[in-house]
Amino acid sequence: MRYFLTISYDGSKFYGFQRQHNVINVQSTIEDELSKVFNEKILVKGAGRTDRGVHAKNQALHFDSEKLINTKTLKKNLNKCLNNIHINKCRIVDDSFHSRFSVKKKHYSYKISFNSKKKNSEYVYFQKKLNIKKMKEASRAFIGIHNFQNFVSGERENYECIIYRIKFHHMFRNGVKIDFYGKSFYRYMVRNLVGALIDVGKNKATKHDIEHLLNSEKTDKMLSTAPAKGLTLENIYY
């Protein structure tokens, strides 16, 4: 049978989601505890990978086991022994469900603070304010289906992706949160999109520069990459 979990975690405590040797990561941490509970080797498959320092409020994953354990009990026991990870939901799903391939939409957010008193692991602090109006205008270039190869790290066969919506929110007097809704997000993609918008907000780039990089051949003329710690995987929709 197939178990489905949604989890939240503080990315500053982990070297990313993906299983790695000799470093603390989300995937191995959960697998170790599940293996103890089920008394067998458990491997989990996530909806996607988050980089070192990136947070999650509703990351999703699944795993298979022939053993039946009450999901309420499983959730309760896991939350007792996991550090810096919280199980939000736990249920049994159909075997055809896949935490990655069944995804319909993902929601990421990026938080920027201009207030030094607001500095913490979920915000990126900027000493000087950005031109939010220009950033909003430039963000419209990303909406729709594009080839994002100039905003993705690493080599892929396909760089095409769809972004449904980008929304700006004033969180407090001196800060802004940027929400991204899309089908798929590749490695460093959201951080590169935010970095490009920050360059626009600093008057170091324009909407035209972004439009030129979209759907273009790979170029060495890259815009900035925003720090990881301001990024949060907010939700995954199925």
Based on the residue annotation, tell me whether 51 is a catalytic residue of this protein: yes
- CA dist 125 to 142, 158, 225, 227, Å? 24, 34, 15, 10
CB 98 within 8 A of CB 62: yes
Locate tokens 């939409």: which residue? 105
Q: Which of 51, 95, 199, 220 is catalytic?
A: 51
CB 109 within 8 A of CB 235: no
- CA dist 118 to 109, 147, 165, Å? 17, 36, 27
Report the phi/psi class of residue 207: left, alpha or beta, with left for phi > 0 and alpha for psi in -120 to 50: alpha
Q: What does the alpha-carbon distance between residue 127 and residue 129 come to, in Å, rounded to a whole number?
A: 7
Of 25, 24, 90, 20, which Cα lies nearest the Cα of 62?
Answer: 90
Please list, in sequence order, all residues whose beta carbon lies within 8 angstroms of the beta carbon of residue 9, skipping any fewer than 6 positions away.
26, 55, 56, 59, 84, 85, 86
What residues are labeled active site? Answer: 51
